[in-house]
Amino acid sequence: MPSDLRPYVGAHIVDGKSLSLDIQREVAEGVSALNERGVEVRLAVVIAGDDPASHVYVRNKERACERCGILSTRIDMPSTSNLEEMIEVVEQLNSDPSIHGILVQSPAPDGVNELAIASSILPQKDVDGFHPINLGRLVQGDSMGLLPCTPSGVMRMLDSSDVRLEGSRAVVLGRSRIVGMPMALMLAQKGSDATVTIVHSRTSEIESICSEADILVAAVGSAHMVGPQWVKPGAFVVDVGISRIEGGLAGDVAPEVSEIAGWVTPVPGGVGPMTIAMLMKNTLSATEMQTT
């Protein structure tokens, strides 16, 4: 059939929710094996203040813990909490052997230095993977560390498709400590072997750089910023952004991109559930490391 008569199919929508549940089932098996050895797995989540989105995220993490058989302890702190008070809570959790993973929900209250909080968590309990030792291990290609959950979830989504990373051009839009920077490292590391460009607010000709990407990861938090003209036909487009707009939630990627791309991750139901799955996986790994 001539190609112009081929029916238009559109991008494959990557089902992060279903993949996340598969991973959580695997984690539940690992947790059962630890339970049989008499080890209970416990994650502590610290949340300061009343940011509604953060409370939704924390509730989703607690639900995932229930699915995986992981016990969770939630510590609610007031929005007036300062750095010293938050570090005091972290230090109590660090020294409690029944707690295997510690997560301090971001954003912290105004004026609280998140880097100082990340550094105060014991690296072996740092299930967010934000401690400088864990990020340093990622830079060095040392697989002993706990990896940041969102970029490792994206790597699992790429893995589950038949997209070839070796020799591909990847563009990461955004340079945050939590997503953009570790994402770029994971894509470039040995074994993944993509050639990576990081694009940020000071980059010129963003659109033309993005339009050459075989893999485009958008992580800026700007609703529908990536339009179809930014996307190479057939590209794998990962949408990490999530913004509240009139009428619901929006990713960084405009809906029309699915007419150009080969794969698109949806918002919601894409990267978000994968982040939670990787948090569960990190909590299991942290417990295994602490108890064997």
Catalytic residues: 61, 105, 128
Single-letter code of the amino acid located at 208: S
Decide if residue 106 touches ligand GUN (CB under 6 A).
yes
Cis peptide before 107 (omega within 30 of 0): yes
Q: Give the nearest distance from C-beta 233 to ligand GUN in angstroms.
A: 31
| Under 8 Å between Cβ of 215 and 238 | yes
Identify the residue among 81, 105, 124, 211 touching ligand GUN (CB under 6 A): 105
Least separation in angstroms between residue 73's CB and ligand GUN is 15
Closest C-alpha to 191, from 233, 269, 138, 238: 138
Mask for 43-82, x = binds ligand GUN (CB under 6 A): --------------x-------------------------
Nearest to residue 178, comparing CAs of 244, 78, 72, 105? 105
183 binds ligand GUN (CB under 6 A): no
Q: What is the 3-state secondary structure (H, E, C) of 16-36?
A: HHHHHHHHHHHHHHHHHHHHH
Contact 86, 108 (CB under 8 A): yes
Q: How far is the CB of 38 from ligand GUN (least distance, A)?
A: 29
- DSSP E strands, 118-231: 169-173, 195-199, 215-218
Give 181's contacts (C-beta < 8 A, 6+ positions apart). 175, 198
Where are the strands (E) in 55-132, listed by range?
A: 71-77, 101-104
Figure out which of the listed residues 14, 23, 103, 271 binds ligand GUN, where binding follows CB under 6 A: 103
Q: Under rule CB under 6 A, which residues in 263-282 are in contact with ligand GUN?
A: 275
Q: What are the tokens at 155?
A: 């790597």
- The reply to whether 89 sits near ligand GUN by the rule CB under 6 A is no
- Nearest position to ligand GUN, beta carbon: 106
Helix axes 271-291 and 52-68, enclosed angle (nearest 10) = 50
Comparing CB distances to ligand GUN, the nearer of 150 and 287 is: 150
Q: How many residues bind to ligand GUN according to rule CB under 6 A?
A: 10
Determine the interface stretch with ligand GUN among 86-94, 104-112, 131-139, 260-268 (rule: CB under 6 A). Answer: 104-112
Beta strand pairing call for 12-13 and 169-173: unpaired
The nearest distance, CB 22 to ligand GUN, in angstroms, is 20
Q: Which stretch binds ligand GUN (CB under 6 A): 99-107, 226-234, 248-256, 262-270?
A: 99-107
Among 64, 89, 149, 218, binds ligand GUN (CB under 6 A): 149
Closest CB to ligand GUN among 240 and 260? Answer: 240
Q: What does the binding site for ligand GUN look like in residue numbers (CB under 6 A)?
A: 57, 103-106, 128, 149-150, 178, 275
